[in-house]
Amino acid sequence: MKTCPYCGSGIKHLLSSYYCDFCELGIPREDIQEKGKRKDFLPELQPTVQDLSKSTREIMRFSIIELVLLLKLARKERANLYKQRYIFVQAIKQGALEYREGEQYTFIEYEKMTRKCFVLENLIRERMGYYPTFITNSFIWKMAERMIKSLQKDMVIRPSKHR
């Protein structure tokens, strides 16, 4: 039986769409569940550095764990850009003025990556109420474990025995 991903109720098929009477919502085809199962938010693939070039509108569609993984990547990229810029700045201080263009370029890229970090932090904050200061492998594993555990309880109400 096709069910709502939010309440577990059976849904109606209307021409080319689905509808849940309890939630009073249209349900996209990709969100439909079976027999009260909960929607799985664990991604099949992890985000990559290339995903950092996506627009905010595109990134808003990522799941919470994808956003956290992407923030970890963005912070690493930003740190690398900072280190590169630092090398250019030190060379310029030593009189190697030919590195000015490289320093300016890395500053622009550093600023873009910092803004991308802000976007990711705020998207995470919207969903979790906070964003993680440090993203360790342990943090990600615990998050994934909790997501898997939350899939185990189906949204099914057993009929009353006293009817």
Beta carbons within 8 Å of 42's beta carbon, 6+ residues apart: 63, 65, 144, 147, 148
Report residues of the chain scoring pLDDT below 50.
none
Gap between the Cα atoms of 90 and 60, Å rounded: 38
Q: pLDDT digit string (tens) for 71-88?
A: 999 999 999 999 999 999
What phi and psi values does residue 124 have, to the nearest 5 degrees?
-65, -45
* Model pLDDT, residue 77: 98
The secondary structure element, H or E, covering residue 27 is: strand 25-27
* Model pLDDT, residue 58: 98
Per the CB < 8 A criterion, the answer to whether 106 and 85 are in contact is: yes
Per the CB < 8 A criterion, the answer to whether 47 and 68 are in contact is: no
Mean pLDDT of the chain: 93
* Model pLDDT, residue 163: 64
Full-model pTM: 0.81
